[in-house]
Chains A and B, each alone.
Chain A
Amino acid sequence: MRSILNCTAVELSEKIKAGEYTAVEAMEAVFERIGEKEQEYHCYITLDRESALNRAKEVQRKIEAKELTGPLAGVPVAVKDNLCTKGVLTSCASKILENFVPAYSATAVEHLEKAGAVMVGKANMDEFAMGSTTETSYYGVTRNPVNPAHVPGGSSGGSAAAVALQECFMALGSDTGGSIRQPASYCGVVGLKPTYGMVSRYGLVSYASSLDQIGPITKNVADAAYLLEAIASYDKKDSTSMPDADRDFTGALVEDVTGMRIGIPRDYFGAGLEKEVETAVLAAAEVLKDAGAVVEEFDLGMAEYAIPAYYTIATAEASSNLERFDGIKYGYRTKGCVGLHNMYKKTRSEGFGEEVKRRIMLGSFVLSSGYYDAYYLKALRTKALIRKAFDEAFSKFDLILGPVAPSTAPKLGESLADPLKMYLGDIYTISVNLAGLPGISVPCGKDGNGLPIGLQLIGDCFAEKKLIRAAYTFEKQTVAKRL
């Protein structure tokens, strides 16, 4: 059973189709692992062994009948708990959705089912994806797979930790300001945030709709390409999904970066960046240079304005998106309350956690009459300037290379005491969401305490293939060097 868990998602599916393993054995191995690890690490909010095994049996039958032949058939997958799953609790790690069972599945989840992937359970996260540590979950923290005294990152911390701990073979996360890339970096796995509009957001519980995007968290770059290819689509149900994007990502799994122009923004290597992270990321740039890329430093600009712009735009959108949680049609409702408005207020005050309330308050303020122009519109103008800075960069470079986060995973309990400080940790990931770009986090080393460090590659809109090609080449080169 041990060796089955060491397979990547694509390897596992190949072995299942070849008859070496069954989808049921894969799921049983995952639950055996969960039995050993879950109590300490807590990657999941919802697990149902019996229905997972039943679905695995059904998929196995279809694989044997050659009805399912795809590259991810039979693979156990974890799904972040802000993605709607028909008939399965979808809590967004919040008390206010403690009993919400969706009547439909997210489009990305439906694509997974069609591909024959089998859901293990719903992964833990920061409440409504607001946080960078998975500590704001109402259902308890997830721990870092490398060192349980540290956080796994967030907000997709449960997804990233589950992949690293082999409590699944791959996972879906969502990324609004770094929520796929940063936990992937902290847990030592691969995380890809696609271009805005690449994956349908239908059925993703919205945090900041103009920034949210669903993406894969996997053991390696190839799995990320296959999983992204499975979930990416134009969807009539999401008016922001893009009709004619190139979605053949696995075609980019080529070990070749000859002549690829890669820019390193000097702005990303200033004060606040841990030395060990800097060293590992610059060493990664050398690997790509040795493999034939043309690597050059440049000034990107606008880096320091991304966080204030983000926390204005994201909280504004959140305050509007989260108005729907009012205790009327679904979710938690306070008990014994007189009057409709009192019921709204009490339900929301009891149902939301501290960080969610903090962001709803700030968002309500920046949208309020008298402040809308000074804060919200100012942030949207700043966003235009950030986008322009990237446009200029991508006129010279194919990709931008930098760190994912300024440090490795902090200790549990260190971040929430000072929200602003926690927000500053998003400095290298956030501008990617504001500009709608794709970004990938790939493991590139460890610090002195053995905690993983992530390399971030950023591409222009719809340049996922360049991103995947460079990340794949880097991964191949580093694996070759370790041998």
Chain B
Amino acid sequence: MGYGADRESGKGGTMANVIDDATIEYVGILAKLELSDEEKEAAKKDMGRMLDYIDQLNELDTSGVEPMSHVLPVRNVFREDVVTNGDGREETLLNAPERKEDMFVVPKTFE
């Protein structure tokens, strides 16, 4: 893998997780954020420090423990595909950053 949080042995006070430029670039793409060079440096430090902290979880033996996404037994709720909320077209389009008649205008997607 071309990006990564390289793990160095944790010497007193130094960060164990070192976030490299490629990782920050990649995370920026996933997050759809454009960071300035200054922001990138800050993000590398912040993220490394948080991951060091999160690494505490490795002290826990979680083998055989199922990942718990919900504490209560929730299930998907199905309903008939019937419109119940009426036509909110005008109210919805009022929030459009740019509109043309009854459409949202977006920047050109294809050349």
The docked-state distance in angstroms from the alpha carbon of A278 to that of B75 is 41
Chain A residues whose C-beta falls within 8 Å of the C-beta of B96 in the assembled complex: 329-330
Interface residues of B in 78-109 (CB under 8 A from A): 79, 85, 88, 91-92, 94-98, 104, 106-109
- Residue pair A384, B67 in contact (C-beta under 8 Å): yes
- Residue pair A420, B67 in contact (C-beta under 8 Å): no
Of B77, B95, B107, the contact of A343 (CB 8 Å cutoff): B107
The docked-state distance in angstroms from the alpha carbon of A213 to that of B50 is 25
- Residue pair B79, A385 in contact (C-beta under 8 Å): no
- Residue pair B54, A461 in contact (C-beta under 8 Å): no
A-B contact pairs, 12 of them (CB 8 A): A197-B74, A239-B77, A311-B54, A319-B31, A343-B106, A352-B33, A361-B46, A363-B31, A365-B51, A367-B30, A385-B62, A387-B68
Any B CB within 8 A of the CB of A396: no
Chain A residues whose C-beta falls within 8 Å of the C-beta of B32 in the assembled complex: 323, 326, 341, 344-345, 348
The docked-state distance in angstroms from the alpha carbon of A377 to that of B62 is 10
The docked-state distance in angstroms from the alpha carbon of A342 to that of B107 is 9
Chain A residues whose C-beta falls within 8 Å of the C-beta of B8 in the assembled complex: none
Interface residues of B in 14-66 (CB under 8 A from A): 23, 26-28, 30-35, 39, 43, 46-47, 49-51, 53-58, 60, 62, 65-66
A-B pairs with beta carbons under 8 A, tally: 170
Query: Shortest 7 CB-CB distances between A and B: which pairs?
Result: A380-B67, A436-B71, A333-B97, A330-B95, A103-B91, A381-B62, A384-B68
Any A CB within 8 A of the CB of B11: no
Binary flags per residue of A159-197, CB closer than 8 Å to B gives 1, else 0: 000000000000000000000000000000000000011
Chain B residues whose C-beta falls within 8 Å of the C-beta of A339 in the assembled complex: 107-108
Any A CB within 8 A of the CB of B76: yes
Interface residues of A in 303-338 (CB under 8 A from B): 304-305, 307-309, 311-312, 319, 323, 326-333, 337-338
Any A CB within 8 A of the CB of B69: yes
Closest chain-B Cβ to A238's Cβ sits at a distance in Å of 9
Q: A312-B54, A387-B68 are known contacts; what are 17 more A-B pairs with Cβ within 8 Å?
A: A100-B95, A101-B94, A236-B77, A239-B76, A308-B54, A319-B31, A329-B92, A331-B95, A345-B32, A345-B34, A358-B43, A362-B50, A365-B47, A365-B51, A381-B67, A420-B53, A436-B72
Q: Is the interface of B mostly helix, strand, loop or mixed?
A: loop
Residue of B47, B55, B71 with most partner-chain A CB within 10 A: B71
Interface residues of A in 391-442 (CB under 8 A from B): 419-420, 434-436
Chain A residues whose C-beta falls within 8 Å of the C-beta of B98 in the assembled complex: 333
